[in-house]
C-alpha cells in the first residue's frame, strides 16, 4: 500500500470554508479519479495553530503505479484548483509513504 500524504497549514480567516471544500468536494473528487482506495483528513494536534490550522490529508493507493497515474494524469489540475481558490492562504508539502 502507498500513502500519498499532503500536509497543509491553512490560514484561520479561510479555515472553515477550506475545510468544507476539502471534505465535500476536493477529497471526494481525488478519490473519484479511481487511483486511490480512500482519502481522509486529520487535524494535526501538535502544531502551533496561532497563524493557521494544520492537517494531514492521506490518500491510500493499492500500488505505486496507481499513485503515479494519479500524479501524472490528475494532480496538476487538482492542485491548480486549490491554488486558484486559496492562493497565498496555505502552505503544503507532500510526502509519499509505503506501508510496511
How is the chain split into domains, by residue range? 2-98
Q: pTM of the prediction? A: 0.92
Q: What topology is assigned to 2-98 in CATH?
A: Alpha-Beta Plaits (3.30.70)
Which stretches of 7-91 are DSSP H helices?
15-21, 27-32, 64-73, 75-86
What is the distance between the alpha carbons of residues 44 and 7, in angstroms, rounded to a whole number? 9
Assess contact for 72 and 44: CB atoms under 8 A: no
Q: Order of strands, edge to edge, in the sheet holding 2-10?
A: 38-43, 53-61, 2-10, 90-98
The C-alpha cell at 42 is 486529520
Mean pLDDT of all residues belonging to the chain = 95
pLDDT tens digits, 22-56: 999 999 999 999 999 999 999 999 877 778 999 99
Amino acid at each position: 500500500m502507498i500513502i500519498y500524504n499532503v500536509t497543509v497549514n491553512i490560514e484561520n480567516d479561510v479555515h472553515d470554508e477550506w475545510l468544507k471544500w476539502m471534505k465535500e468536494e476536493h477529497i471526494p473528487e481525488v478519490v473519484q479519479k479511481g487511483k486511490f482506495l480512500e482519502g481522509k483528513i486529520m487535524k494535526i494536534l501538535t502544531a502551533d495553530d496561532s497563524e493557521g490550522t494544520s492537517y494531514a490529508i492521506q490518500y491510500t493507493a493499492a500500488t505505486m503505479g496507481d499513485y503515479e497515474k494519479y500524479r501524472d494524469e490528475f494532480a496538476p489540475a487538482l492542485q491548480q484548483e486549490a491554488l486558484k481558490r486559496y492562493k497565498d492562504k496555505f502552505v503544503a508539502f507532500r510526502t509519499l509513504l509505503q506501508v510496511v
